[in-house]
Amino acid sequence: MAIILGDHQYGKAENRVVRIYRDAKRHEIRDLNVSTALRGPFDPAYLSGDQTNVLPTDTQKNTAFAFAKSKGVESIEDFGLDLARHFVHDVAPVEGARIEVEEYAWERAVVDGVEHDHTWLRKGQEIRTAAVTVDATGEHVIGGFKNLVLLKSTGSEFAGFLSDEYTTLQETHDRVMATSLVAQWRFTSVEVDWEKIYAGIKQIMVREFATLQSLALQQTLWHMGRSVLEAYPFVAEVRLKAPNKHHFAVDLSPFELENPGEVFIAADRPYGLIEATVLRDDAPDAGDAWRISAGLA
């Protein structure tokens, strides 16, 4: 009955890499938060403090910034692949690498009706994410986003549910439904037009949220995931995490006012939390694709 070292990994989290393209008069910007983690025979560092195999996290940081120049940032999925392949293929002891990237979107300032060449406003909507894993079993890319806040003011119901002695909730056939959606989708290819597919997936999810007469947030998630899989054969699996951000209709009757779905209090906590995975029944093995490091993507 020995005590042993189990899973381990280490890296540099939250490198705030900003890449400006200024070759033309019209500049471009990519604004990233890059976390790297390495996996491999680092047991001696734990067991005896021997760093022989340990590439410093400081070096990982340097590599992220150097690659922003030498490889560029065409898309965060490719940027993650570039970094992960480098660590696994070029740094001898490294057996696996996990790269998690957040991307913050900017939109061009509009001055006198014209988009400006080198000024932007942070868009502030959803944060795009990518999680890339490269190891002996292959290459895995997960795209995604988080903090996409959606709200519909009608077209949502909740009724016919199970009841027990702790149930006080009333049924409703018209409520506000709102969430701050976290979505991740696993690709089965690395030859993807990442920018185009990202926009397409977001569009599908927004469409399903808007158009489905929702009998539960669960049902909405299923429709979101299924529609993405139907549209993109190279996506094997979609994972969704959706807080039900409650908007409670305020009882205005003490003030002799009616409130037919017009005035709500947006509650902070507690919130419902609905999770689902939608996948193909022949989805290839995910390997370590879903093993997080910093957990930011």
Of residues 58 and 285, the one with the C-beta less far from a second copy: 58
Closest CA to 99 of 34, 41, 145: 34
d(CA 262, CA 58): 54
Nearest distance from C-beta of residue 193 to a second copy, angstroms: 21
Q: Work out whether the CA dihedral 119, 121, 123, 124 comes out positive or negative.
A: positive
222 binds a second copy (CB under 8 A): yes
154 binds a second copy (CB under 8 A): yes
273 binds a second copy (CB under 8 A): yes
Nearest distance from C-beta of residue 75 to a second copy, angstroms: 17
231 binds a second copy (CB under 8 A): no
The answer to whether residues 244 and 179 touch, using CB atoms and an 8 Å cutoff, is yes
229 binds a second copy (CB under 8 A): yes
Indicate if 211 belongs to the active site: no
d(CA 74, CA 197): 14
50 binds a second copy (CB under 8 A): yes
The Cβ of residue 75 has, within 10 Å, a number of other Cβ atoms equal to 22
> Which one of 95, 279, 287, 288 is in contact with a second copy (CB under 8 A)?
279
d(CA 284, CA 10): 27
286 binds a second copy (CB under 8 A): no
Of residues 137 and 265, the one with the C-beta less far from a second copy: 265
How many residues line the site for a second copy (CB under 8 A)? 144
Indicate if 152 belongs to the active site: no
Q: Which stretch binds a second copy (CB under 8 A): 77-85, 128-136, 186-194, 267-275?
A: 267-275
284 binds a second copy (CB under 8 A): no
Query: Which residue among the candidates 202, 245, 246, 247 is catalytic per the annotation?
Result: 246
Instruction: Let me know how long the chain is.
Output: 297
191 binds a second copy (CB under 8 A): no
Q: Which two tokens stand for residue 180?
A: 């701050």
Of residues 197 and 235, the one with the C-beta less far from a second copy: 235
271 binds a second copy (CB under 8 A): yes
Of residues 37 and 81, the one with the C-beta less far from a second copy: 37
Nearest distance from C-beta of residue 143 to a second copy, angstroms: 18
160 binds a second copy (CB under 8 A): yes
Q: Where does residue 49 fall: left (phi above 0), alpha (psi -120 to 50 degrees), or beta otherwise?
A: left
Indicate if 12 belongs to the active site: yes
Nearest distance from C-beta of residue 138 to a second copy, angstroms: 21
HSE of 151, CA atoms in CB hemisphere, 13 A: 8
196 binds a second copy (CB under 8 A): no
- Is the N-terminal amide bond of 56 cis, ω within 30° of 0? no
The answer to whether residues 126 and 147 touch, using CB atoms and an 8 Å cutoff, is yes
133 binds a second copy (CB under 8 A): no
85 binds a second copy (CB under 8 A): no
The Cβ of residue 92 has, within 10 Å, a number of other Cβ atoms equal to 8
* Angstrom distances, CA of residue 250 to CA of 118, 156, 166, 255: 46, 18, 23, 11
Residues assigned a catalytic role: 12, 57, 246
